[in-house]
Amino acid sequence: MRFASLIASLTIIIFAVTGCSQEPTSYSVTAPDGGLSFKLTTDELGRVYFAVDDGDTAVISSSRMGFAFANAPSFTEGLSVVAGETATTDTTWELPWGERRFVRDHHNEQSFVLSDGDRTITLRVRMFDDGVGFRFEFPADFHAGELLITDELTQFNIANPSDKTFWNPAYNKDRYEYEYVKTNVTDVKAAHTPLTILDSTDRYVTLHEASLIDYSSMVLRGTDSSVLNGELVAGFDGVRVRQTGAFVTPWRTIQVTDSAPELLASNMILNLNEPNKLGDVSWVKPGVYMGIWWGMHLGENSWATGEKLGATTSEAKRYIDFISENGLDGFLVEGWNIGWDGNWIANADLFSFTEAQPFFDLEEVAAYAQEKNVDLVLHNETSGGIKNYEDQMEEAYALYQSLGVSHLKTGYVGFSNGYPRHDIHNEDHGDYLVFEWNHGQFMVNHYQKSIDLAAKYKIGINMHEPIKPTGLRRTYPNFMTREGVRGQEYNAWSEGNQPAHTTILPFTRMMGGPLDFTPGVFDVTFKGADASERIRTTITKQLALMVVLYSPLQMAADLPRNYAAKPELFQFIKDVPADWEESLPLEGEIGEYVVYARQARDSENWFIGGITNEDARSVSLDFSFLGEGDFTATVYRDGEQADWETNPYDAVIESMSVNASSTLNVAMAKGGGFAISVIKQ
Ligand code: NOJ
Ligand code: CA
């Protein structure tokens, strides 16, 4: 009897296990050149995993996928996978402005339908020769009403961890404005993307996302193991994403290359974004700009009215004259509007975006800029006062357009989790303010509102304290450039940036897109040679950064008097453009050095920039990228005695004739660099 009852319960147990167990499934998608492959598997519990191999070598080991919700059953287990449609794309499209004109999009695509029996999500995978992108597509019938996502399970299990993992710490008060940390994968705490690993097989692996729209950004949460967990940034109430109806997630991206230059040359993030939605964007004008700006950071000028006020009508005209006389393109003015007096960070809601302070005549300056053919870059600092800004945005942008303002630099200085929600004052939350992260869905949507409205009024945006770049400049070409980095400004008033910082940025932050770093400062010991506030650079490295750190709006950040004092070096800034026909990363190593050659748009001329970290080194240039004929190369390089610390101003300028078969060795000092203009004869 007892034996019979034991048999009965065993039967039930076995039945229960087979009842929820599934036949494991496995699929594979391969890149056009057959190198990278994406494997999708399910286990016997119906959990879904992906992996990425490069040939026979695993790059990403088995990593989980799935979703959890506050108001719907989770989509993590009991899932089946059916392969959907496949496609191959091989097209070339054109960037209206950019680091290159033509971009080839060559990929294999495969969709999969994931089902829990009641609901489905489509997983779309695109395989490029230099990486993998995948995203989740939710159909309208996935959920009735608003869906509240509390977790996206996407993981990245790094197959070959190394201590060369470069990452920017997330959830810190100054947003993305930190130097990159270099640790083992296992020591990552919480990191913004792009995060780049030179893995133990010497492959370069960048984790990021593309096309971040109406979603929260993804942070990578370390786990003390080789697994990095994708973590969506939470809103004020813990919900990470709210969506109604059909929607898609951003693409989760993994770029994988064998060399550093190949990583820098990858167009995958742009290729995963939608084509231009704005139509004719000939009004979006790239260029090199100067501005009433660095003087404020040095403390020579102020944003506030008073003796040191920077933005006066006469000072603006003096800048416009200097810019026009030297053939540069744009003029930025900060501190022109009402709101800077007092504590402008705390008094966010006092900013007016239409009224100028009494010493600045906006109409007169705008007319003067137009007369001198200089693009006016106005500044809107919101201090994170989103409602105050949104209430005025349309009127302000319409005013700017009527005055011929072509560009706007926006700013969102504020504690990274301090963006108030003035729309949330209800019984559930009481009559107190709640706050959002600058990289959560609420702010992603605010930044997008600014881009959409600026497009309506034909204004190009340079965003400071932005959301990280995910390639949206393809879809919205007026979203030109942004900060989202520890920029040059930190050298003015903090312990500054180490020489290696700018050799890390191309491989990390800039994998997402252009950067308003504000290079080109000539007076690098502005507080005296012994002061701790200085720029850890040689003077020719500052020229090189104008080429290396790509931005379609590139600032020449120093004061007019410092350029006037060094006209021979300033010649490079007068010559260098901010829009390119082609960009060739020639060589480099993450955190060590980078060399770029870029061909000016609609021109046969080339500009080369090379930078190094704290180590001196030489590079051997081969000019085989040049077209036919002879060119005059003007080389701006570190002198024999140059050293960022002891002799930052030792520079040599020399000219020579070069052609496509020329070669040249160039030495870089500690913290140094070089720039070369190569002009067709
Ligand atoms: C921070 C920005 O990065 C900087 O460029 C600007 O001058 C200040 N905020 C003031 O808005
Ligand atoms: Ca900033």
CA 292 to ligand 1 centroid distance, Å = 11
Ligand 1 atom index nearest CA of 379: 11
Answer yes or no: do 321 and 438 share one domain: yes
Ligand 1 pocket mutation pick from 412, 413, 515 by most atoms within 8 angstroms of CB: 413
Ligand 1 atom index nearest CA of 518: 5
| CA–CA dist 186, 455 (Å, integer) | 43
| CA–CA dist 478, 394 (Å, integer) | 16
- Per the annotation, the verdict on 614 as an active-site residue is no
CA 332 to ligand 1 centroid distance, Å = 12
Ligand 1 pocket mutation pick from 340, 464, 493 by most atoms within 8 angstroms of CB: 464
Model pLDDT for residues 131-165, shown as the tens digit of each residue: 999 999 999 999 999 999 999 999 999 999 999 99
- Per-chain mean pLDDT for the chain: 95
- The residues near 29 (Cβ < 8 Å, ≥ 6 apart) are 37, 38, 40, 86, 108, 110, 125, 127
Model pLDDT for residues 499-531, shown as the tens digit of each residue: 999 999 999 999 999 999 999 999 999 999 899
Asked if residue 441 lies in contact with residue 407, where contact means CB atoms within 8 angstroms, the answer is no
Answer yes or no: do 196 and 313 share one domain: no
Distances (CA, A) of 513 to 509, 516, 594: 7, 10, 17
Q: Whose CA is nearest to atom 7 of ligand 1?
A: 293
Of 631, 586, 611, 584, the closest CA to residue 100 belongs to: 584
Distances (CA, A) of 660 to 581, 605, 622, 664, 666: 18, 12, 8, 12, 17
Last residue of a domain, one of 578, 600, 627: 578
Model pLDDT for residues 404-439, shown as the tens digit of each residue: 999 999 999 999 999 999 888 655 656 678 899 999
How far is it between the farthest Cα atoms of the chain? Answer: 104
Answer yes or no: do 146 and 204 share one domain: yes
**Is residue 497 helix, strand or coil?**
coil
Model pLDDT for residues 227-273, shown as the tens digit of each residue: 999 999 999 999 999 999 999 999 999 999 999 999 999 999 999 99
Model pLDDT for residues 51-94, shown as the tens digit of each residue: 999 999 999 999 999 999 999 999 999 999 999 999 999 999 99
Model pLDDT for residues 573-610, shown as the tens digit of each residue: 999 999 999 999 999 999 999 999 999 999 999 999 99
Ligand 1 atom index nearest CA of 303: 10
The total of other beta-carbon atoms located within 10 Å of residue 547's CB is: 31
Number of separate domains in the chain = 2
- Which ligand has the nearest atom to the CA of 302? 1
Answer yes or no: do 432 and 548 share one domain: yes
pLDDT for 521: 98
Output the domain CATH number for residue 204: 2.70.98.10
pLDDT for 358: 98
Task: Give yes or no for residue 382 having a pLDDT over 60.
Answer: yes
- In a domain, residue 108? The reply is yes
Catalytic residue among 489, 592, 628, 640: 489
**Is residue 4 helix, strand or coil?**
helix
- In a domain, residue 590? The reply is no
- In a domain, residue 459? The reply is yes
Mean pLDDT of 353-360: 98
Task: Give yes or no for residue 170 having a pLDDT over 60.
Answer: yes
- In a domain, residue 492? The reply is yes
Ligand 1 atom index nearest CA of 297: 7
CA 606 to ligand 1 centroid distance, Å = 32
Ligand 1 pocket mutation pick from 378, 381, 416, 553 by most atoms within 8 angstroms of CB: 381
Answer yes or no: do 214 and 324 share one domain: no
Output the domain CATH number for residue 568: 3.20.20.70
Task: Please give the structure tokens belonging to residue 111.
Answer: 């969709």
User: For the chain, what percent of residues have pLDDT higher than 90?
Assistant: 94
CA 63 to ligand 1 centroid distance, Å = 40
**Is residue 25 helix, strand or coil?**
strand
pLDDT for 517: 98
- In a domain, residue 657? The reply is no
Q: Whose CA is nearest to atom 6 of ligand 1?
A: 411
| CA–CA dist 473, 471 (Å, integer) | 5
Asked if residue 660 lies in contact with residue 488, where contact means CB atoms within 8 angstroms, the answer is no
- In a domain, residue 266? The reply is yes
The residue to which tokens 């309208």 are assigned? 140
Answer yes or no: do 415 and 308 share one domain: yes
Ligand 1 atom index nearest CA of 487: 3
Answer yes or no: do 396 and 248 share one domain: no
Q: Whose CA is nearest to atom 11 of ligand 1?
A: 381
- In a domain, residue 373? The reply is yes
| CA–CA dist 125, 123 (Å, integer) | 7
Task: Please give the structure tokens belonging to residue 263.
Answer: 């990583």
Last residue of a domain, one of 240, 271, 302: 271
Task: Give yes or no for residue 4 having a pLDDT over 90.
Answer: no
The residue to which tokens 């700017």 are assigned? 400
Give the burial string for 115-137 (b: 16+ CB within 10 Å, else e): bbeebbbbbbbbbbbbbbbbbbb
| CA–CA dist 305, 301 (Å, integer) | 10
The total of other beta-carbon atoms located within 10 Å of residue 644's CB is: 23
- The residues near 432 (Cβ < 8 Å, ≥ 6 apart) are none
Kindly list the protein residues whose Cβ atom lies closer than 6 A to any atom of ligand 1. Answer: 293, 334, 381, 411, 413, 464, 483, 489
Residue 122 belongs to domain spanning: 12-271
CA 487 to ligand 2 centroid distance, Å = 7
Last residue of a domain, one of 214, 245, 271: 271
Mean pLDDT of 322-335: 98
The total of other beta-carbon atoms located within 10 Å of residue 364's CB is: 13
Task: Give yes or no for residue 16 having a pLDDT over 90.
Answer: no
CA 583 to ligand 1 centroid distance, Å = 29
Model confidence, pTM: 0.96
Answer yes or no: do 405 and 520 share one domain: yes
Of 533, 87, 117, the closest CA to residue 298 belongs to: 533
- The residues near 96 (Cβ < 8 Å, ≥ 6 apart) are 276, 281, 282, 284, 477
Ligand 1 pocket mutation pick from 377, 489, 553 by most atoms within 8 angstroms of CB: 489
DSSP codes, 422-484: TT--STTT-SS-EEE-TTSHHHHHHHHHHHHHHHHTT-EEEESS-PPP-STTTT-TTEEEE--
The residue to which tokens 């070598």 are assigned? 57
CA 464 to ligand 1 centroid distance, Å = 7
Torsion angle defined by CA atoms of residues 378, 381, 384 and 390, in that order, rounded to the nearest 10 degrees: -40
Task: Give yes or no for residue 276 having a pLDDT over 90.
Answer: yes
Answer yes or no: do 29 and 86 share one domain: yes
- In a domain, residue 367? The reply is yes
Answer yes or no: do 57 and 204 share one domain: yes
Answer yes or no: do 256 and 303 share one domain: no
The residue to which tokens 């357009």 are assigned? 401
Q: Which residues surround ligand 2, an ion (CB under 5 A)?
A: 464
Task: Give yes or no for residue 674 having a pLDDT over 70.
Answer: yes
Answer yes or no: do 20 and 136 share one domain: yes
Task: Give yes or no for residue 13 having a pLDDT over 60.
Answer: no
